[in-house]
Amino acid sequence: MLRFLRKWKALFLLSLLTVGCGDAVCTSRRCLAEMLIKKGLLSQPQTENCAHVIKVPFIEYQTLAVDTKNLRLISRLQARLEWSDPELKWNTSVYDYEDVVLPVGKVWTPEILVTNGIESTMKHNSKDLLVLSDGTLRHSVVINAEVNLSIKPTNPFITLLMPSILILLADIVSFALPLGGGERNCFKVTLVLSFTVFLNILNDVLPGDSSCSPIIRTHFCICLVFLVFSMLVSLVLTRLAKDGSLIFCCGSKGTVPDNTEVKADVSVVQISSPEEDGGMLKRVVNFLEAVDADTLKKDRDLKFANNLDKTFFWFYSIGATMYFIAMIIVMVKYRCVVNHFEFWY
């Protein structure tokens, strides 16, 4: 009987020991992490207005590629995020730790997107995040985004509009050169060729023909039309001032080439009678009258061409000035709006 009581007493003590070990609280950092994981807080912290403040105390920006033709920017953002979750707090008197590391997939994490991005993806920079005792969470993410670029109105004016204004200004000043001699025509041809080369260089840099193509392309085309039209008018007026005719297939009648020396048809003859003397004088007078008539005709054609040249100069100057004023106003007020959801309709 005594042996039986001893066995029951040993079993009772053993049960008390087992219960005591089961009631012992684990206060290690790992036990704290397991306790927070078991809560399963995978939803966003709920507030009164259903909004949650996400702080970004640090952000690092890297440009991977720039496509100026299609106005695209491919960038990489590395940001450090901070937010609070009151249900992840713990009592530091029980768990004497200020922070603990939890897996990213076991708690709720915010999703960060680029608002003006065509495509953006967010990846976690680490598989773990840091949780503080007051419920603050810290985590780092990497965002790869492809963004639409926007052109400021002042940039095209300084880099593109101003050079075109100077080129057209040089073309207007070239009207001070005389029509004869060919200096003006050579200068205008040089301006057209240089502007064409300038456009070929910019063709690979300017954005392409899209729904939001910059208006600077239209401006360059109009400037080229101005330059070519001015060159053609100058060539026509040079022809008119020289020959007095706009017929390009053949030379005008009754004119003597400038490089031909005019010589009088005078020969030494022996005058035998007064009749022959009078005929010779008449031939000399007719020759001089023809030279004077040709000179007067050239002066009249040159004056007429100069008058047309002055008239075209004023029309050209006024038209170019009005165009540039209108273009500056349009470039400042022009805003391109792209509907990225147009494919839905």
- For the chain, the domains span 33-148, 154-344
> What distance in Å separates the CA atoms of residue 267 and residue 14, rounded to the nearest whole number?
157
Nearest in space to 88 (alpha carbons), one of 49, 59, 129: 129
List the structure tokens of 144.
Answer: 């790869």
Continuous segment of H or E residues that includes residue 99: strand 99-103
Count of all residues that appear for the chain in the document = 345
Which residues in 248-270 are b (16+ Cβ under 10 Å) and which e?
A: eeeeeeeeeeeeeeeeeeeeeee
> What distance in Å separates the CA atoms of residue 242 and residue 236, rounded to the nearest whole number?
10
Topology adopted by domain 33-148: Acetylcholine Binding Protein; Chain: A, (2.70.170)
Query: Is the Cβ–Cβ distance between 216 and 278 less than 8 Å?
Result: no
**One digit per residue, pLDDT tens: the chain, 345 residues?**
556 556 555 655 555 444 444 445 677 888 888 888 888 888 888 877 777 788 888 888 888 887 766 677 788 888 888 888 888 888 888 888 888 888 888 888 888 877 777 777 888 888 888 888 888 888 898 888 887 776 555 555 566 778 888 899 999 999 888 887 788 889 999 999 989 888 888 777 666 555 555 677 788 889 999 999 999 999 888 888 877 766 655 554 444 455 444 454 545 555 555 666 667 777 777 777 777 777 787 777 778 888 888 999 999 999 999 998 888 887 777 666 555 444 343
Nearest in space to 91 (alpha carbons), one of 32, 26, 24: 32
- pLDDT per residue over 111-155, tens digit each? 887 777 777 788 888 888 888 888 888 889 888 888 777 655 555
The reported pLDDT for the residue numbered 171 is 92
List the structure tokens of 296.
Answer: 């007067």
Task: Reduce the DSSP state of residue 83 to 3 states and report it.
Answer: strand
> What distance in Å separates the CA atoms of residue 253 and residue 186, rounded to the nearest whole number?
27
Beta strands 136-148; 117-124: pairing state: antiparallel
